[in-house]
Amino acid sequence: MLLLRDAQQDGQPAIEVLMTRRSAHASFAPGAFVFPGGAIEFSDARIAAGASRRGTQDEAQAVQAVAAIRETFEELGVLLARRSDGAFVDDSDIATLDRSAAIEEHCAQRGLTLAADWVYPLAHWITDRDLPRRFDVQFFVARMPSGQTAVADGAEQFEPVWVSPSDALARHAAGDFAMIFPTVRTLERLRSFDSVDALLAACAGERPLWSSCPRGGLRAGSIVRCMEGDAPYGELRLVCPDGQVLHALDWRSTEAVPLLNNVMRLTVANGGMMTGPGTNSYIIGTLTTGFIVVDPGPDDRAHLQRILAATDGDIRMIVCTHSHVDHAPGAQPLQAMCANKPPILGLPSGPSARAGSHFVPDRELREREWLALAGDGETHRLLVVPTPGHASNHLCLVLVEDGLLFSGDHILNGSTTVIDPPDGNMTAYLASLDRLDAICVEHNIDFILPAHGYVLDRARDQIARIKAHRLAREAKIAQTVKRLPNGSIDDWLRHAYDDVPEKLWPAAARSLLAHLERLDERPHAQHHNFARLISNRPREPI
């Protein structure tokens, strides 16, 4: 139970939440600051039958709310209940109650009605799969009733404290306010609310605002926890489906990272603002079947030598998702290093590509062509899916046996890809997203392996999220142009991308131009001749 009250922080409205420190001898999270709570008891269902509730609360929610109310009373002496006259109980009422006695008796003897209608669902947490003791926990929120003071029971809980989410997180970072992972992440989400009313309104739908069963990985040798939506979560789900804490999340360019028995990733040491941790080269196959290399990267001889070592030199094909300088220039040097001179496959760069992105494959791939590896009963098949948009010659690949989509730069983890006219085209990009969504349905694809960043899961959700983001940005650009019809590109960029760090504006300017070009192509557009602006605009390095 998260009990909340309105407060001020640095002169601005904020919320505070009531927290308490667990006993140092507790079997779970000893010494940690937590929210009061505990297990549902059989009596809670009987009590819930007489509790007040909203018409939208179902039976299960009422029982859970009653359990949260009961545990909060037992641990902190705060009781969400009304007297027979309809008024909330206060400290004078609570002083007459024995907290060790059953709350059901207090209700019967004193005519109290538990206020389940004051309790709203916030979140649903399930303990990580790797832990020996696991819990399935509903988190609830309620406004702290006036006239009551929290007093810890001195057995399970100690030191009740009102604290803002920001202050609790700052103290935790400083090392003097111990909290477990779900508590930290819950407080991080509460920071965005500046009033109790705003938070309760967000929870009024009777469904948790989020549900999570975290997964653990290793970073610098220590366990880190990730919840759904965190960048590494999909990778942990792919590599350790049963929740084992085995997979290292550190970005290393010196060794191949196994993702499946037949898929490895080698990341180029070219990390930066536009490449994230670096460009991912994927190696598909086994020693039995030989290997396909996807995106050998730039002409980095140390990286190419590592690819050669990881494949034992048995590379059957080299595929480039597109011709940009961090993806394709390593193809010919890698081919020359192989004794069998594997073919370089892909789509040739278009006439609008930059000079540095010129690319001509040994053989041009066809739409829905299959690239296959086979040997000793093993088969690995890649389906070719042309996806123009980020570049005119961009393609993606589907490893059908394993339900994986190799997305190149079309879908990234942690950022949206730059669409750089004239070789990049926003209309084509969005159409390619739709094509990938249909492919995910057709081949039951759940994981995306991008050219930059960790593996993504929930492939169709990721595609829908990216498309919604692009269309929302386009609407914001259109509104900006309408409001500033005589503005410059820089004026429009400043307003339409005001939520993007300024250091990213040179890249964002390219996508802005791609959106303007698309707006200019629409039927009934106000024909601002954005195409002219695009052709005259100096091209920022990307």
pLDDT, one tens digit per residue, over 196-206 is 999 999 999 99
Of the candidate ranges 286-290, 333-337, 351-355, 384-388, the one whose mean pLDDT is the lowest? 351-355
Question: Is a pLDDT exceeding 60 seen at residue 525?
Answer: no
Give residue 539's pLDDT.
Answer: 44
CATH superfamily of 2-212: Nucleoside Triphosphate Pyrophosphohydrolase (3.90.79.10)
| Contact (Cβ atoms closer than 8 angstroms) between residue 216 and residue 37 | no
Q: Taking residues 386-415, what's their average pLDDT?
A: 97
Give residue 535's pLDDT.
Answer: 47
Q: Please tell me the CATH code under which domain 252-459 is placed.
A: 3.60.15.10
- Which residues face 375 on adjacent strands? 378
Give residue 156's pLDDT.
Answer: 83
| Domain boundaries along the sequence of the chain | 2-212, 214-250, 252-459, 469-536
Neighbouring CB atoms inside 10 A of 366's CB total 10
- What is the full DSSP assignment across 352-364? TS-GGG----SEE
The residue with greater pLDDT, 164 or 25, is: 164
User: CA angle 99-104-109, nearest 5°?
Assistant: 90
Within 13 Å, how many C-alpha atoms sit on residue 524's CB side? Answer: 0
Give residue 468's pLDDT.
Answer: 97
Give residue 530's pLDDT.
Answer: 55
Q: How far is CA 353 from CA 13, 163, 412, in A?
A: 52, 55, 21
| Contact (Cβ atoms closer than 8 angstroms) between residue 73 and residue 79 | yes
Question: Is a pLDDT exceeding 60 seen at residue 77?
Answer: yes
pLDDT one-digit tens code per residue, 29-48: 899 999 999 999 999 999 99
Q: Band of the pLDDT at 527, cuts 50, 70, 90? A: very low
How buried is residue 230: exposed, middle or buried, by Cβ count under 10 Å (0-12/13-18/19+)?
Answer: middle
The yes-or-no answer to whether 2-212 and 252-459 have a common fold is no
